[in-house]
Amino acid sequence: MNRQLVTENLKISFDAIRRNTLRTVLTMLIIAFGIMALIGILTSIDSIKNSISSNFAMMGANTFSIRNRQTRMHGGPNSERPRNYTNITYEETQQFRENYSVPAVVSVTTWGTSTATLKYGSTKTNPNIAVMGTDENYLTTSGLELKSGRNFSSQEIGSGANAVIIGSQIEKDLFKNKKQVINEEISIGPGKYKVIGVLKEKGNSMGFSGDRRCIVPLLNVRNYFSRPDMNYTIHVMVDQALLDAAIDEATGVFRVIRKVPLGMENNFEISKADNMAEMLIDNIKYVTYAAIIISIITLIGAAIGLMNIMLVSVTERTREIGIRKAIGANSRTIRNQFLSEAIIICLLGGVLGIFIGIIIGNGISLLIGSPFIVPWLWIITGLVLCVTVGIISGMYPAAKAAKLDPIESLRYE
């Protein structure tokens, strides 16, 4: 087919689309909805994956944690329920510090509460502030950085002083436009605490804002947020070259501390930051499958609707087809004309769906604090799907139009 014939076919296709604006727009919207669902959901998932990866990467590839329970999550028909173990006690964390021989930075953390209200003067926060008890090594092992102020001193950690490092959102909520907040006194529940540092902004991840937490000395949490089931987590940072050996050593030391019999599985979990990110990302794949299935079902409905419209179009334009054949157009030219109409309708709907899907997906990215994403893979996939739907739904009407007898077509109506 020469270039002039292709151009002529496309011109006729666009003219036909303009003459049937209403039903063309309705079909485009159905296709756009399917592509929007695909692009929007998958863009959101990519944003969530980036957020998970970046947040766990901040802890460093040379960091691992010892926790009390299995954190690995599985989905699907062969899923297993997470296994709960006995809480790690404060005494066990101290024994680990004493017995762990690998050169490393070790920190211990525990959660005081996640519903604290902080107050400064007459200003107070919502009761959604997390209070975490740590030692002086936590900022190093967690990858957190200070925007202003300082870390805890060994004296403050040892005495459980009423000193606090606050998240950047807490600084904004409590101190508004106040430039200097270091050494100011705030209330956490009934207690008064001196602000010694402010963390750099991290943003949201999976609906949780790390900027709405405050860090106090570990002993302070044990004294003022004590409860019978307090659980502790150990974080270890070692040289990258020693990581595997350090994990093996930590496993052996902690098995002895927890009195795990020989041959029995660990009653604690050791996980690297990158492994935890991979487990969470792997669990999201089922959402990806669901998004693809929903989009395919919607596109099948759009394909059926488009095929119906094209069949109606063939019937309405029977006389036009007869005239074109009478002046020299062959069956192949007629078939390609109607096939191009179907593909153009699908592509117009697909482009609209891709545009809306990117806006929706990046709206969710904004909410979780991820950067703007242009999902080129999913955009190309969406366009390929549109062309495929156009070909499938347009093939039968185009073939029907191509087979029409020119004499009978001219007699139509």
- Domain range summary for the chain, segments of one domain joined by +: 3-55+280-411, 63-272
**Which backbone phi and psi does 290 adopt, to 5 degrees?**
-65, -40
Average pLDDT score over the chain: 80
Is it the case that residue 75 has pLDDT exceeding 60?
Answer: no
pLDDT-derived band at 389, boundaries 50, 70, 90 = confident
Helix (H) or strand (E) holding 66: strand 63-67
What pLDDT does 79 receive? 47
Is it the case that residue 171 has pLDDT exceeding 70?
Answer: yes
Q: Which two tokens stand for residue 346?
A: 């699908």
Is it the case that residue 71 has pLDDT exceeding 50?
Answer: no
Tell me which amino acid residue 282 is.
Answer: D
Measured CA to CA, the distance from residue 166 to residue 188 in angstroms comes to: 11
CA dihedral 209, 210, 214, 216 (to 10 degrees): 150
Of 157-161, 170-174, 313-317, least confident by mean pLDDT is 313-317
Q: What is the CA radius of gyration of the chain?
A: 32
Q: What is the DSSP letter of 151?
A: P
What pLDDT does 253 receive? 93
What pLDDT does 353 receive? 87
Residues 99-113 as b/e (b if ≥16 CB within 10 A, e otherwise) read ebebebebbbbbbbb
Nearest CA among 90, 128, 98, 119 for reference residue 217: 90
With a threshold of 0.75, does the pTM exceed it? no
Percent over 90 (pLDDT), the chain: 23
Is it the case that residue 211 has pLDDT exceeding 90?
Answer: no
Of 35-49, 182-196, 212-226, least confident by mean pLDDT is 35-49
Is it the case that residue 56 has pLDDT exceeding 60?
Answer: no
What is the arithmetic mean of pLDDT over 301-305?
Answer: 78
What pLDDT does 118 receive? 93
Nearest CA among 40, 57, 69 for reference residue 295: 40
Q: What is the DSSP letter of 403?
A: T
- Beta strands 191-199; 163-166: pairing state: parallel
Helix (H) or strand (E) holding 278: helix 273-316
- Give the 3-state secondary structure of residue 192: strand
What is the arithmetic mean of pLDDT over 76-86?
Answer: 54
Measured CA to CA, the distance from residue 179 to residue 82 in angstroms comes to: 46
- Give the 3-state secondary structure of residue 332: helix
What is the arithmetic mean of pLDDT over 254-282?
Answer: 78
How far are the Cα atoms of 43, 295, 372 from residue 16, in angstroms, in the given order? 34, 28, 38
pLDDT-derived band at 321, boundaries 50, 70, 90 = confident
Is residue 349 a contact partner of residue 302, using CB atoms and an 8 Å limit?
A: yes
Is residue 129 a contact partner of residue 116, using CB atoms and an 8 Å limit?
A: yes
What pLDDT does 278 receive? 62
What pLDDT does 206 receive? 45
CA dihedral 140, 142, 143, 146 (to 10 degrees): -70
CA dihedral 32, 297, 361, 280 (to 10 degrees): -170
Burial (Cβ within 10 Å: 0-12, 13-18, ≥19) of residue 360: middle
Is it the case that residue 1 has pLDDT exceeding 60?
Answer: no
What pLDDT does 267 receive? 84
CB atoms within 10 A of CB 294: 14
| Vertex 38: Cα angle to 33 and 40 (nearest 5) | 85
What is the arithmetic mean of pLDDT over 75-103?
Answer: 76
Which regions of 117-174 does DSSP assign to beta strands (E)?
118-120, 123-124, 129-134, 146-149, 163-166
